[in-house]
Amino acid sequence: MAIKFHRCSGMALKGSHPCWAVQRALDDAGIEYEMVRHPSVSRGRPREVIALTGQPQLPAIELENGQILREDPDVLVERIRSGRLRD
């Protein structure tokens, strides 16, 4: 099973957007993932995301063992780039 990348549904928001930065780091590292898009805040995302991560923010990474990584996006990007995603 591949990891699951939980991100907002705003796919057009590129550049410095947190979800896009983490997705690009995953792509650049060649890490396979299943993308799980969550609706915007106005359509109920917080309840769904809080149940998953304990926080209302995205992005989050769900590892194969079920562990959820929900950290500052810059920290997630650094973990991915340094090869420490599963640490």
DSSP 34: E
pLDDT tens-digit map of 38-73? 886 656 667 888 898 998 889 999 999 999 999 999
Q: Assess if CATH 3.60.20.10 describes domain 3-81.
A: no
Where are the domains positioned within the chain? 3-81
Asked whether residue 5 carries a pLDDT value surpassing 90, the answer given is yes
**If pLDDT is split at 50, 70 and 90, which confidence band does 10 have?**
confident
| Length of the chain in terms of residues written | 87
Q: Which long-range contacts (CB under 8 A, 24 or more apart) does 42-46 make?
A: 45/8
Contact 86, 34 (CB under 8 A): no
Tell me the C-alpha distance between 38 and 84, whole Å. Answer: 25
pLDDT at 46: 75
pLDDT of residue 8: 87
Q: What is the pTM of this model?
A: 0.87
